[in-house]
Amino acid sequence: MSERSTIFALSSGRPPAAIAVIRVCGPAAQLALERLTGRVPRPRQAALARVCDPASGEIIDQALALWFPGPHSETGEDMAELQVHGGPAVIAAVLDALGRVEDCRLAEPGEFTRRAFENGRLDLTAVEGLADLIAAETSAQRRQALRQLKGLIGDRAEAWRQKIIEALALVEAGIDFPDEADVPKDLVAPALGAAQQLRGEIGARLADGGCGERLREGLAVAIAGPPNAGKSTLLNRLARREAAIVSPYPGTTRDVIEVHLDLGGYPVMLIDTAGIRDSNDPVEQEGVRRARERAAAADLVLWVIDASVSGQAVEDFNKNVDKSNIWIVHNKIDQVGDELCRDDLSQPADEALTTFPISAILGTGIDALVMALAAYARDYFSVTESALITRARHRAALAATVAALDRALREGKAGREEVIAEELRAAATALGRLTGRVDVEDILDVIFRDFCIGK
């Protein structure tokens, strides 16, 4: 530990701001405080401090200084914090002065959190929860991230791992006493019983429809339909900004355009796509291919048709899509007479389809559509409060655990203890990877790289 360098960084947001928080972590944190402020405040108590350049003695700023001696700090190491005035020149001068203290250097992205992980203050799922909390854009995302940070999946995985290790110990005890004929069977049966129960528990968690991951990324709502129906106008209206180009020429949108929305506290990713039609233009063809692909993969499709043009049908882009996941949006109702509009909408071609009459240009009917979308998101996410899995990484680790438990169970009571033990060990290792207890060096860089500097 003594060889460790001391890191520092601006931990608060982009300057200028009223206050900027600069954190220092590592063995030389105390020295850095002494050099810059002349003293070390009492642990965990804010103290007024004059921050000076150690070389020239020039006063840089009047600040608040805090001292968190390890191991009872966020990272588990000695930490100092300076709350200075948030101007770029003040921050630059303090960082420059810190850089001249022996063994101190600027932190890499996520390096504070990485130290907290290495010192056992956070497990890997909590680290991911922390990253999600910083990135959370809606209240539902914030709640999910906080649950994960506080150990919802990490603690559960660790408890499962302990049970597997207990089962493994039973089987291994059986292997150690091969001469006493009765012992192994007596030990293996309860071990397999425990494995069976765990397999059921973890399997149930895997069968959650992926809503935890969806909450991180947002519910995918694709806007699709024939060219010129007003899809991009609708996207802009819902996003309340000009995110997509609108023009009177059919075939305007080519690329897929994504906009993140907060609908009643739930995250929705709205996807505008190219108008679907046959075309000779290779660029448009590619746009149409992507449009079909995104619509087929979306949770909900808003199929937009021009109400002033008759005979526009809904494309059967995916036979597996549930009808309730396609809503028909009759746009441009400002262009049709009252009567025609009412006739059209009271007799939808397919009774099973939900329809919304709107004018994307005037905003007519948009409130009803937004309310329906918010209700859809709320229903979709109503089960997420109990969702454990928020990332593909978690899903893969739990699936590997279940697969290993299945192999152990297949071996059965009459099976070879060595094989059962081996599979139980594999199950425990898969769970250990989830929380970062075993050989995860390869994924650490990937996880911490997503953090900002100063966290």
Ligand X SMILES: Nc1nc2c(ncn2[C@@H]2O[C@H](COP(=O)(O)OP(=O)(O)OP(=O)(O)O)[C@@H](O)[C@H]2O)c(=O)[nH]1
Interface with ligand X (CB under 6 A)? 227-233, 246-248, 250-253, 274-275, 331-332, 334-335, 359-361
Which residues have CB under 8 Å from 295's CB, separation 6+?
222, 224, 273, 301, 317, 318
Q: For residue 232, state whether it binds Mg ion (rule: CB under 5 A).
A: yes
In contact, 318 and 325? CB cutoff 8 Å: no
Closest approach of ligand X to the CB of residue 312, in Å:
11
Q: 104-106 and 354-357: which strand pairing?
A: unpaired
Give the residue ranges of DSSP H helices in 68-110.
88-99
Helix, strand, or coil (residue 18): strand
Residue 361 contacts which entry, Mg ion, ligand X, none (Cβ below 5-8 A, type-dependent):
ligand X
**Which residue has 């700023």 as its token pair?**
61
Residue among 347, 354, 304 nearest 325 (CA): 354
Closest approach of Mg ion to the CB of residue 370, in Å:
20
Closest approach of ligand X to the CB of residue 279, in Å:
11
Q: CB-wise, 5 or 252, nearer to ligand X?
A: 252
Q: CB-wise, 10 or 224, nearer to ligand X?
A: 224
Q: CB-wise, 62 or 247, nearer to ligand X?
A: 247
Whose CB is nearest to ligand X? Answer: 275
Q: For residue 228, state whether it binds Mg ion (rule: CB under 5 A).
A: no
Only segment of 11-19, 226-234, 331-339, 403-411 that touches Mg ion (CB under 5 A): 226-234
Q: For residue 233, state whether it binds Mg ion (rule: CB under 5 A).
A: no
In contact, 94 and 64? CB cutoff 8 Å: no
Helix, strand, or coil (residue 112): helix
Q: Report in angstroms the alpha-carbon separations of 446 from 110, 122, 355, 417.
A: 11, 17, 44, 38
Binding-site member from 37, 141, 236, 253 for Mg ion (CB under 5 A): 253
Residue 332 contacts which entry, Mg ion, ligand X, none (Cβ below 5-8 A, type-dependent):
ligand X
Q: CB-wise, 248 or 311, nearer to ligand X?
A: 248
Residue 429 contacts which entry, Mg ion, ligand X, none (Cβ below 5-8 A, type-dependent):
none
Q: CB-wise, 57 or 248, nearer to ligand X?
A: 248
Give the residue ranges of DSSP H helices in 137-182.
139-149, 152-176
Q: CB-wise, 35 or 231, nearer to Mg ion?
A: 231
Closest approach of ligand X to the CB of residue 358, in Å:
7
Residue 444 contacts which entry, Mg ion, ligand X, none (Cβ below 5-8 A, type-dependent):
none
Q: CB-wise, 174 or 230, nearer to ligand X?
A: 230
Give, as one character, the DSSP assignment of residue 359: B
Closest approach of Mg ion to the CB of residue 247, in Å:
8
Closest approach of Mg ion to the CB of residue 328, in Å:
18
Residue 1 CA from chain centroid, whole number: 32
Q: For residue 273, state whether it binds Mg ion (rule: CB under 5 A).
A: no
Closest approach of ligand X to the CB of residue 249, in Å:
7
Q: CB-wise, 12 or 228, nearer to ligand X?
A: 228
Closest approach of ligand X to the CB of residue 231, in Å:
3
Going across the sheet that includes 104-106, the strands are 47-52, 59-68, 79-86, 17-25, 6-10, 104-106
Tokens linked to 297: 């993969």
In contact, 87 and 100? CB cutoff 8 Å: no
Tell me the C-alpha distance between 111 and 441, whole Å.
Answer: 15
- The residues binding Mg ion (CB under 5 A) are 231-232, 252-253
